[in-house]
Structure 1
Amino acid sequence: MPHASFAMSPNWLTAAALQPAPVPEVWQWLFNQDSLTRRLTKLSANGFSVVPLLQGWAPLRDDECAVLGVAAGSSGWVREVYLCGHDQPWVFARSVAARSALEDSALDLAELGNRSLGELLFSDQAFARGELQVCRYPAAWLPSPDQQEGLWARRSSFSRGPLAVLVAEVFLPSFWPAAGVSLS
């Protein structure tokens, strides 16, 4: 699992702490509170799909453990997927949940298959979304074909009672032209 390596944790920042701010078009994608799945479905004119890369029980990264409120080195459910527009990966997403909280909940993430976790989280009114944070994602944490430094990522935690699901989304280089955003 080369993309699950434990590289140095990035500095996740809130909107208020992010300096310098990216261009407004990037900012809008990073800090929009709406469902990214729904936004990608609209952008792709219903050509949206989810390609699962891996899912199962695994050690969580220290930054994930801190957000989930569990001891460093704890295991949890890890799901990594590509969110695609017209079969082209636009976003790499990594979702994690602490083992104990997930096992005590009625949520079965193993049954998602090629369905979007975001759609599930946004359709269940019991989940409350935490504050969005962004960073430049470590290349070592990406699947090998996409290992590039400096890609914008965002994350937020979705909580329902004692269960928290941390969702990180990394915008791949192929996304920005499709969104009509120039990064140069």
Structure 2
Amino acid sequence: MKRYYSRGEPNWTPWCRFRHHQVPAEIEQWLRDGGSLTARLKRTAQGDFRVNLLRQGWARPLDSERRLLGMRRGGIAMLREVELLCGGVPWVFARTLIPVRSLKGPARRLAVLGERPLGEVLFTDPSMRRGVTQIARLLPGHALFSSAMVNLQTAEAIWGRRTLFHLAGKPLLVNELFLPDIPTSSS
């Protein structure tokens, strides 16, 4: 698997090539979880969970996102950025990119989620296939760090993962950045 890096982006790396001792133990369990993040957040917050839609519309993906999605340079995708709040506090910033070609057929419903969690759609759809997951340490200066932290306290770094999913055979990319208030232990 190729590493993707460009100016303003972190170095996204598959788990198998990442030096695990670099990841703080308290965040590693969140990064490694292969189930629905939505379901896990709901359990951890004892149901006090909601999605805050920050932005949705057409945008050009970052270079590494475009390559991972197999898109041409200059292509556009539907961009959805949300905060996942537990107890009214943002624990996760999620950025989803869905290429135009992926918004056909049954996947069209992804364009009208509003404040419904994407995870509820993905993990209940029998056609969903989880592809590669990469992790990264995001720092000030990285575009995604700035988007995630825009209304939050300052942090030296945050950790995130991104996963390429396929719904009905069509790709979409989900970035999940774990914010400073996420608990260090969960169910």
Residue 74 of structure 1: CA displacement? 1.2
Q: Where does 1:1-184 land on structure 2 (aligned, <5 Å)?
A: 8-19=8-19, 20-102=21-103, 104-107=104-107, 108-137=109-138, 138=142, 139-146=145-152, 148-176=155-183, 179=185
2:60, 2:75 within 8 Å by CA — same for their partners in 1? Answer: yes
Count of aligned pairs: 173
2:14, 2:132 within 8 Å by CA — same for their partners in 1? Answer: yes
Structure 2 runs not aligned, ≥5 long: 1-5
Alignment root-mean-square deviation, CA? 1.9
1:45 match: secondary structure: coil
Structure 1 runs not aligned, ≥5 long: 1-5
2:122, 2:167 within 8 Å by CA — same for their partners in 1? Answer: no
Q: Percent identity of the aligned residues?
A: 35
Normalising to structure 2: TM-score of the pair?
Answer: 0.84
1:105, 1:163 within 8 Å by CA — same for their partners in 2? Answer: no
1:176 match: secondary structure: coil
Q: Distance in 2 between matches of 1:148 and 1:64?
A: 24
Q: Distance in 2 between matches of 1:55 and 1:24?
A: 33
For residues 9 and 73 of structure 1, do their structure 2 counterparts lie closer, same or farther at Cα, with a shift above 3 Å needed? farther
1:165 match: secondary structure: strand
2:155, 2:180 within 8 Å by CA — same for their partners in 1? Answer: no
Q: Distance in 1 between matches of 2:66 and 2:119?
A: 20
Q: Distance in 1 between matches of 2:177 and 2:83?
A: 9
